[in-house]
Amino acid sequence: MRVNWNYIKFLGLLLTVIGLYGFADYRNKAKNVEDISIKFLGDNNLYLTEDAVNKLLIQNYGSVKNRAKEQVVLNTIETIISSNDMVKSAQVYLSVEGELISKIVQRKPIGRVEGVSKFYLDDMGKRMPLSRYHSARVPIITGKITGKSLEDAYVILDYVNKDNFLRKNVIGIHIEDEGKYQLKFRVENFVVNLGGVKNLDEKFKNFMAFYVKATKDKTLENYAVVSLEFDNQVVCTKI
């Protein structure tokens, strides 16, 4: 019987590789977590701190540093970090060197509600608590706060944030009633009666046409109210 030495060599090499991989994996799992690295992604990194994340982990998971890597449950740690009201998403993994790395995306507020309850409205239209570490410079929402009016306020702010001029100049939304919203501007003395949230594109195009002309004519200061409530019209009330 002829022996296939090439097959035996290949089998021996395969067993050696599997053995080395298993040994390396065993040694890797036996190592301890050497350090913890918390990285905040994006440009919205103001509402949560590294110390706050570390404290959250210690309170809900215990100390991670110097714990064996095989005892660290990454999904559980991700869930704990994501449970913080300031966190939008979290990704946790272990490096080869034994460093526990957590990459966190914080939530982004786009409006601040000033009513019986005070909170932010984030860029997903959800309620977000105020932060003890930073106060966001976002438009203030006042008036009759209801679930529906907040939904509409989010639609307005989402539109405003996509326009460079409006984003820089709109500083407030006052809710007179559901379907009746009033905008306040940073510099101008007048307020803008927006009405409801239908046809926002048309309403703001009409407003910008009015604003450009009134700026050119130097008559902006003559107006107390600018109404966009009527179809394809800008109705102004003088001081």
CATH at residue 66: 3.10.20.310
How do residues 32-43 score in pLDDT, each as one tens digit?
A: 777 889 999 987
Q: 91 to each of 103, 108, 134, 157, how far by Cα in Å?
A: 5, 18, 24, 29
Query: Which residue is listed with tokens 């300031």?
Result: 86
Q: Which amino acid is at 107?
A: R
Instruction: Provide the number of structural domains found in the chain.
Output: 2
Asked, for residue 16, whether it belongs to a domain, the answer is no
Q: Is residue 13 part of a domain?
A: no
d(CA 82, CA 239): 51
CATH code of the domain containing 136: 3.40.50.11690
Q: How wide is the angle at C-alpha 150 spanned by C-alphas 148 and 156, nearest 5°?
A: 110
| 232/177 same-domain check | yes
The burial class, CB within 10 Å (0-12 / 13-18 / 19+), for 102 is: buried
Q: Provide the domain limits for residue 47.
A: 32-106
In a domain? residue 113: yes
Q: Are 63 and 36 members of one domain?
A: yes
Stated pTM of the model: 0.80
> How many whole angstroms from its chain centre is CA 170?
20
Question: Strand pairing partners for 120?
Answer: 112, 128
Listed residues 80, 106, 132: the one ending a domain: 106
115 and 231 share a domain? yes
Q: Are 87 and 153 in a shared domain?
A: no
- 124 and 229 in a single domain? The answer is yes
Q: What is the pLDDT along the chain (239 residues), one digit of tens a residue?
A: 454 555 555 555 655 555 444 434 544 455 777 788 999 998 777 899 999 999 999 999 888 888 888 888 899 999 999 999 999 999 999 988 888 999 999 999 999 999 889 999 999 999 999 999 999 999 999 999 999 999 999 999 999 999 999 999 999 999 998 889 999 998 888 899 999 999 999 999 999 999 999 999 888 888 899 999 988 888 888 88
Q: Around 96, how many Cα atoms within 13 Å sit in the side-chain half-sphere?
A: 2
Same structural domain for residues 181 and 85?
A: no
Does any domain span residue 23? no
In a domain, 39, yes or no: yes
- Asked whether residue 197 is domain-assigned, the answer is yes
User: Residues 72, 147: one domain?
Assistant: no
Could you say which of 46, 74, 106 is where a domain stops?
Answer: 106
Could you tell me if 55 and 98 lie in one domain? yes
- 42: helix, coil or strand? coil
Quick check: is 156 in a domain?
A: yes
- Predicted pLDDT of residue 13: 62
Q: Give the pLDDT score at 34.
A: 79
